[in-house]
């Protein structure tokens, strides 16, 4: 069993693919165990194509979105994908789920976590999940929470790119080179048939971040993913 672990907390069942698929694939290929938690299937607000089909029901939409996300997670190499089914538009982030997420932090002890931007005027579920994920991390560090299990350290938290970052007060300070796993991410993107209209959009995002990464590093980069790191990086040397 690997001791290199990471946790991706996705509001809806497609978010982890668009926004963190490269990070998952890259780290999985390097031997990391990446756990993905989908708090919702996106069954109300992010499944318009499915709802246009005759005879569609809420449970059928959930089942289809789950199938898509599981296929994408397999392609990306995620060690585990969990579906918590907490509702959608609005998502219901109750206390039991908060403590469950804190306990999951302690169980897998991630070196880093990822979730949504802190602001998103287009989707209230996203900032709610961002705050929820950060609160769970804080609880997992509290000695008084379930004293029988060890507290976690201080995993970095990366906020992945929102759909319209200029409206979300999101400022990327990390660009990850995902060129080597781009084809894998693109294949995972194509698993999300319920939102086919976003396939090319997120391809353009990857190419744009790759160009920016190349310019900022002086090294060739074709495709990238950008994140906002919340906490300072503690290093032994600069450069």
Tell me, what's the pLDDT at 239? 77
Give the right CATH number for 5-229 from 1.10.10.10, 3.40.50.10320, 3.40.190.10, 3.40.47.10: 3.40.50.10320
What pTM does this model have?
A: 0.96
Residue 156 phi, psi (nearest 5) = -65, 145
Structure confidence by residue, pLDDT tens digits, 192-212: 998 999 999 999 999 999 999
Residue 19 has pLDDT above 90, yes or no: yes
- Torsion over CA: 239, 227, 31, 232 (sign): positive
Percentage of the chain surpassing pLDDT 90? 95
DSSP one-letter code for 174: E
Confidence of residue 47 (pLDDT cuts 50, 70, 90): confident
Residue 62 has pLDDT above 60, yes or no: yes
- Indicate the average pLDDT of the chain: 96
- Stretch 184-193: mean pLDDT: 97
Structure confidence by residue, pLDDT tens digits, 76-97: 999 999 999 999 999 999 999 9
Residue for token pair 């979730």: 115
Tell me, what's the pLDDT at 2? 65
Q: Walk across the sheet containing 156-160 and list its strands.
A: 80-83, 33-38, 5-10, 112-115, 156-160, 224-229, 174-177
Q: CA–CA separation, 20 vs 9, rounded Å?
A: 10
Confidence of residue 3 (pLDDT cuts 50, 70, 90): confident
What six digits make up the tokens of 45?
């607000």
In sequence order, what are the residues at sequence separation of 6 or more whose Cβ sits closer than 8 angstroms to the Cβ of residue 14? 42, 46, 65, 68, 69, 72, 192, 194, 195, 198
Percentage of the chain surpassing pLDDT 70? 99
**3-state class (DSSP) for residue 9:** strand
- Stretch 111-123: mean pLDDT: 97
Q: Are 110 and 59 in contact (CB under 8 A)?
A: no
């Amino acid at each position: 069993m690997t001791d290199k672990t990471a946790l991706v907390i996705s509001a809806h069942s497609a978010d982890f693919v668009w926004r963190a698929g490269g990070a998952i694939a890259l780290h999985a290929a390097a031997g990391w165990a990446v756990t993905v938690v989908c708090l919702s299937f996106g069954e109300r607000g992010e499944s318009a194509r499915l709802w246009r089909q005759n005879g569609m029901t809420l449970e059928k939409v959930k089942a289809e979105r789950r199938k898509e996300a599981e296929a994408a997670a397999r392609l990306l190499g995620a060690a585990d994908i969990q579906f918590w089914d907490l509702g959608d538009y609005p998502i219901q982030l109750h206390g039991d789920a908060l403590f469950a997420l804190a306990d999951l932090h302690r169980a897998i002890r991630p070196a880093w976590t990822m979730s949504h931007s802190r602001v998103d005027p287009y989707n209230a579920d996203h900032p709610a999940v961002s705050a929820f994920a950060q609160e769970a991390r804080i609880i997992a560090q509290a000695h008084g929470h379930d004293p029988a299990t060890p507290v976690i350290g201080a995993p970095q938290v990366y906020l992945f790119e929102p759909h319209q970052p200029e409206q979300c007060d999101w400022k990327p300070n990390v660009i990850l080179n995902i060129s080597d796993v781009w084809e894998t991410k693109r294949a995972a993107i194509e698993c999300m048939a319920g939102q086919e209209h976003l396939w090319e959009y997120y391809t353009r995002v990857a190419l744009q971040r790759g160009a920016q990464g190349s310019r900022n590093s002086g090294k060739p980069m074709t495709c990238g993913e950008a994140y906002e790191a919340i906490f300072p990086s503690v290093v032994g040397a600069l450069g």
